[in-house]
């Protein structure tokens, strides 16, 4: 922990309105907390909130929402905030209702956002994003008229003059950003958007001055930087998000990326941000199954090439990883986008040396990216206030109440923490000897070990807030009603559903809880009944982890990433999967299995299971289970699956015994939340959201 103290460039954080100067010699995070001085702009630490597409502008009261969203992160002491992408013109919008900043834009909203951030001592940069051929609307343009594999819209190829006018449009947006009070702009040059599309020989087959040779292909981004600098003037931060590794065929090699970065620096970039992989890449880049700091080798390649500072991004969610990276000199700043959704006060807690109190982003994507991909606004599973700041009251409740909450799963724990934060006196009863509920099973699934951080956070906060914890205590309705509580909250969760199949009590049958808790060893041939999220998770557990959570080399090998950066796009052949258990996942319905998996993570799980040889059987009618295995009809045809074990992952039912008993007592203030209230389609997003809103209403 900690790096060479000599690296610390201690400058006075002049913009630190209201922030106490930390004793940097005493902290565990001296590098993360070191201020940085660009000469014309000072940053109070090295923690950057990365740009995120939130779609908050599509909700009611967008100005208020965006202002409070950014204010909370600046108050939480993020040094530099990068906004979500604003398009420089209509063609460049990501989708039809995506925001544009051009000469017709009213700057009131922007002034409100920048004013809020500055008032909290933060700095804010507007991201300029031209979506290129990823734009999901008919005005979509690109270097050629070849459609992106992840978009149904065919782009119109930009003419040469139009490329020059696009450069001018981006420059004009930068000038307007300065007028609106931003401290700089980030030019989005990665993830396969327009500027990135021009740099790749695969997507840029033009024969004008913007295509052909390497110099021609990088002309658009380089000229963009020059034009932005000229239009916005000096003393205005120019951040460029460079693709450090494209992860698509025809992308740049590491040597080309280094040359490109030097050309951008010469054109006027003050600070590089790092992007990993195009959106169409078949390699996971930010999901929880990606080891922390896995892309460090690609970030370091840019860091070695340039003399201006570099921001590291992708899979930094705890301060320890960022601190180590900076201490090693692999980057100068750490960008965290989702972690600032999960905890707006991330940077403040680092300064206070309270890393265990950080509500850690667990990389699930369930309420952020998956919401965006389904045309909803972004929030966060572990922090439902994210993006909804204006809907939650700040501070203490008017009246302090005595509250009992039963159940120590996600719903019960988040209720207890939020209620205690509101000043209520909270007692939490949990029948097991440990907190966590279903989280204790989820965290056993390979690629989901980040759930451990969620448990650590809740445990820490329950302790800090003085919630009275009763573990191993099965409390009765009578005890609760006679306890003198002002409110009783039932969060007893769910029980696994047992389907009505002949032979369901055969010794070869196990529930997913038996398997994930490690209580029941499994044989070599396993049938999984149920193809929901848990069925897939159990299959992943059964085929074994291809790489351990921290094994970056194993992860890169499995996904065919060339860590030497010698190949174009940084791709190589993936390693062949190990031969392991034979697993089949079964569902009664017709149609593709895995339909309920997260949009941004389901494909990763499915690809991994496919490679491990897991079979999917659909249209199954279960007949019986006996010593020979599982007898069923598949598409009407009889089949015997000769398996050693059958694992039941057939959904859950609410555990409502206590809720029903309390209802019978007529107690005036009983609330049932999470799985105990509704088991179907239960997920932790809804459970935590319900719990937090209830706590804030008391
Ligand atoms: P689920 O998604 O409701 O899936 C249950 C599966 O069991 C379905 O495939 C269903 O399909 C089958 N089934 C239902 N009743 C059955 C019966 N009587 N006999 C045989 N099969 C039956 O439930 P889950 O997998 O337990 O997951 C619970 C929740 O956890 C999910 O809704 C999800 O939100 C969350 N979760 C999410 C993820 C994720 O990837 N984001 C991962 C894990 C859990 P058929 O009826 O077609 O057979
Ligand atoms: Fe992180 Fe999940 Fe929250 Fe997204 S929803 S910010 S991935 S914890």
CATH code for position 428 = 3.40.50.720
For residues 350 and 471, state if they share a domain. no
**Does residue 263 lie within any of the structural domains?**
yes
For residues 363 and 422, state if they share a domain. no
pTM for this structure?
Answer: 0.93
**Does residue 30 lie within any of the structural domains?**
no
- The protein residue with its alpha carbon nearest to ligand 1, atom 35, reads 683
- The protein residue with its alpha carbon nearest to ligand 1, atom 23, reads 651
- 367, 391, 415 — which closes off a domain? 391
Other C-beta atoms closer than 10 Å to the C-beta of 259 total: 16
For residues 284 and 174, state if they share a domain. yes
Token pair 């087959």 is at which residue? 205
Other C-beta atoms closer than 10 Å to the C-beta of 160 total: 12
Closest CA to 174 of 74, 102, 120, 77: 102
**Does residue 28 lie within any of the structural domains?**
no
Residue 338 lies in domain: 36-391
Other C-beta atoms closer than 10 Å to the C-beta of 325 total: 26
- The protein residue with its alpha carbon nearest to ligand 1, atom 16, reads 650
**Does residue 19 lie within any of the structural domains?**
no
For residues 484 and 529, state if they share a domain. no
Pocket test for ligand 2, best of 288, 365, 692 (most atoms within 8 A of CB): 365
**Residue 452 CB contacts under 8 Å (≥ 6 apart), including other chains:** 443
Is 260 catalytic? The answer is no
For residues 514 and 601, state if they share a domain. yes
For residues 296 and 200, state if they share a domain. yes
For residues 599 and 662, state if they share a domain. no
- The protein residue with its alpha carbon nearest to ligand 1, atom 32, reads 681
> Which pLDDT value is given to residue 679?
84
**Does residue 380 lie within any of the structural domains?**
yes
For residues 386 and 281, state if they share a domain. yes
- 362, 391, 420 — which closes off a domain? 391
CA of 651 to the centre of ligand 2 (A): 24
**Does residue 458 lie within any of the structural domains?**
yes
CA of 544 to the centre of ligand 1 (A): 21
**Residue 213 CB contacts under 8 Å (≥ 6 apart), including other chains:** none
Please compute, for residue 141, the number of CA atoms within 13 A of its CA located in the half-sphere on the CB side.
Answer: 17
Residue 372: phi and psi, rounded to 5, are -65, -40
For residues 379 and 453, state if they share a domain. no
Q: How far is CA 519 from the centre of its chain?
A: 31
**Does residue 49 lie within any of the structural domains?**
yes
Pocket test for ligand 2, best of 382, 388, 449, 684 (most atoms within 8 A of CB): 382
Residues in contact with ligand 2 by the CB-under-6-Å rule are 338, 341-342, 361-368, 380-382
Q: Is the CB of 589 under 6 A from ligand 1?
A: yes
Other C-beta atoms closer than 10 Å to the C-beta of 497 total: 15
- 357, 391, 425 — which closes off a domain? 391
> Which pLDDT value is given to residue 10?
31
**Does residue 202 lie within any of the structural domains?**
yes
Could you list the beta-strand ranges (E) of 195-340. 237-245, 271-276, 310-312, 333-336
- Residue of 193, 260, 441, 512 marked active site: 193
Pocket test for ligand 2, best of 284, 337, 341 (most atoms within 8 A of CB): 341
Q: Is the CB of 447 under 6 A from ligand 1?
A: no
pLDDT < 70 stretches in the chain: 1-26, 545-549, 681-682
For residues 479 and 626, state if they share a domain. no
Whether 35 contacts 71, CB under 8 Å: no
Number of domains in the chain: 3
For residues 646 and 658, state if they share a domain. no
Q: Is the CB of 592 under 6 A from ligand 1?
A: no
For residues 229 and 374, state if they share a domain. yes
Cα of first residue to Cα of last residue in the chain, in angstroms, is: 42
Q: Is the CB of 381 under 6 A from ligand 1?
A: no
- The protein residue with its alpha carbon nearest to ligand 1, atom 10, reads 530
Closest CA to 239 of 17, 387, 409, 50: 50
**Residue 491 CB contacts under 8 Å (≥ 6 apart), including other chains:** 405, 406, 407, 409, 411, 412, 415, 672, 673, 674, 676, 687, 691
According to DSSP, the β-strands at 156-157 and 184-189 are unpaired
């Amino acid at each position: 922990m900690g790096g060479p103290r000599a690296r610390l460039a201690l400058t006075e954080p002049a913009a630190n309105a209201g922030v106490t100067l930390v004793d940097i010699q005493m902290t565990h995070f001296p590098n993360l907390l070191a201020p940085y001085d660009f000469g014309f702009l000072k940053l109070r630490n090295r923690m950057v909130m990365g740009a995120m597409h939130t779609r908050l502008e599509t909700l009611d009261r967008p100005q208020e929402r965006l202002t409070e969203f950014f204010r909370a992160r600046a108050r939480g002491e993020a040094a530099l905030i990068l906004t979500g992408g604003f398009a420089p013109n209509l063609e460049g919008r990501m989708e039809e209702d995506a925001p544009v900043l051009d000469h017709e834009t009213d700057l009131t909203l922007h002034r409100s956002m920048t004013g809020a951030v500055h008032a909290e001592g933060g700095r804010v940069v507007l991201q300029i994003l031209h979506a290129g051929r990823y734009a999901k609307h008919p005005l979509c343009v690109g270097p050629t008229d070849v459609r992106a594999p992840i978009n149904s819209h065919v782009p119109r190829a930009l003419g040469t003059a139009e490329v020059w006018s696009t450069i001018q449009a981006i420059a004009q947006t930068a000038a307007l950003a300065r007028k609106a009070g931003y401290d700089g702009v980030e030019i989005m040059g990665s993830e396969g958007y327009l500027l990135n599309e021009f740099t790749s020989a695969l997507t840029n087959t033009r024969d004008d001055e913007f295509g052909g040779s390497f110099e021609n292909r990088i002309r658009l981004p380089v000229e963009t930087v020059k034009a932005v600098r000229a239009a916005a003037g000096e003393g205005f931060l120019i951040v460029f998000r460079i693709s450090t590794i494209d992860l698509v065929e025809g992308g740049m090699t590491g040597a080309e990326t280094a040359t490109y970065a030097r050309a951008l620096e010469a054109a006027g970039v003050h600070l590089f941000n790092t992007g990993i992989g195009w959106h169409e890449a078949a390699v996971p880049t930010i999901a929880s199954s990606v080891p922390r700091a896995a892309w460090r080798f690609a970030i370091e390649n840019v860091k070695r090439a340039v003399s201006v500072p570099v921001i590291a991004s992708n899979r930094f969610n705890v301060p320890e990883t960022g601190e180590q990276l900076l201490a090693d000199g692999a980057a100068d700043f750490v960008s965290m986008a989702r972690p600032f959704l999960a905890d707006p006060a991330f940077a403040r807690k680092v300064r206070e040396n309270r890393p265990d109190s950080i509500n850690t982003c667990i990389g699930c994507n369930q309420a952020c990216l998956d919401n965006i991909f389904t045309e909803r606004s972004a929030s966060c599973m572990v922090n439902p206030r994210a993006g909804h700041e204006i809907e939650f009251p700040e501070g203490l409740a008017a009246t302090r109440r005595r509250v009992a909450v039963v159940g120590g799963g996600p719903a019960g724990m988040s209720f207890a923490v939020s209620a205690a934060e509101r000043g209520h006196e909270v007692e939490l009863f949990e029948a097991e000897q440990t907190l966590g509920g279903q989280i204790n099973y989820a965290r056993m699934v390979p690629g989901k070990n980040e759930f451990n951080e969620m448990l650590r956070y809740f445990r820490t906060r329950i302790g800090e807030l003085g919630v009275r914890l009763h573990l191993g205590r099965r409390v009765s309705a009578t005890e609760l009603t006679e306890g003198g509580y002002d409110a009783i909250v039932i969060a007893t969760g769910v029980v696994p559903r047992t389907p009505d199949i002949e032979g369901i009590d055969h010794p070869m049958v196990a529930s997913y809880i038996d398997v994930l808790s490690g209580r029941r060893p499994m044989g070599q041939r396993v049938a999984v009944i149920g193809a929901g999220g848990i069925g897939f998770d159990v299959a992943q557990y059964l085929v074994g982890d291809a790489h351990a959570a921290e094994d970056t080399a194993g992860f890169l090998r499995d996904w065919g990433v060339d860590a030497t950066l010698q190949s174009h796009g940084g791709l190589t052949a993936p390693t062949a999967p190990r031969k392991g258990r034979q697993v089949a996942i079964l569902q009664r319905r017709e149609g593709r299995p895995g339909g309920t998996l997260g949009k941004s993570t389901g494909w990763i799980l499915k690809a991994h299971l496919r490679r491990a040889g897991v079979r999917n059987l659909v249209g199954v009618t279960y007949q019986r289970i006996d010593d020979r295995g599982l007898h069923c009809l598949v598409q009407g045809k009889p089949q015997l699956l000769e398996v050693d074990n059958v694992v039941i992952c057939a959904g859950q039912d609410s555990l409502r015994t206590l809720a029903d008993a309390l209802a019978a007592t007529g107690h005036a203030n009983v609330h049932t939340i999470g799985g105990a209230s509704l088991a179907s389609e239960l997920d932790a997003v809804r459970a935590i959201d319900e719990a937090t809103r209830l706590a804030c209403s008391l």
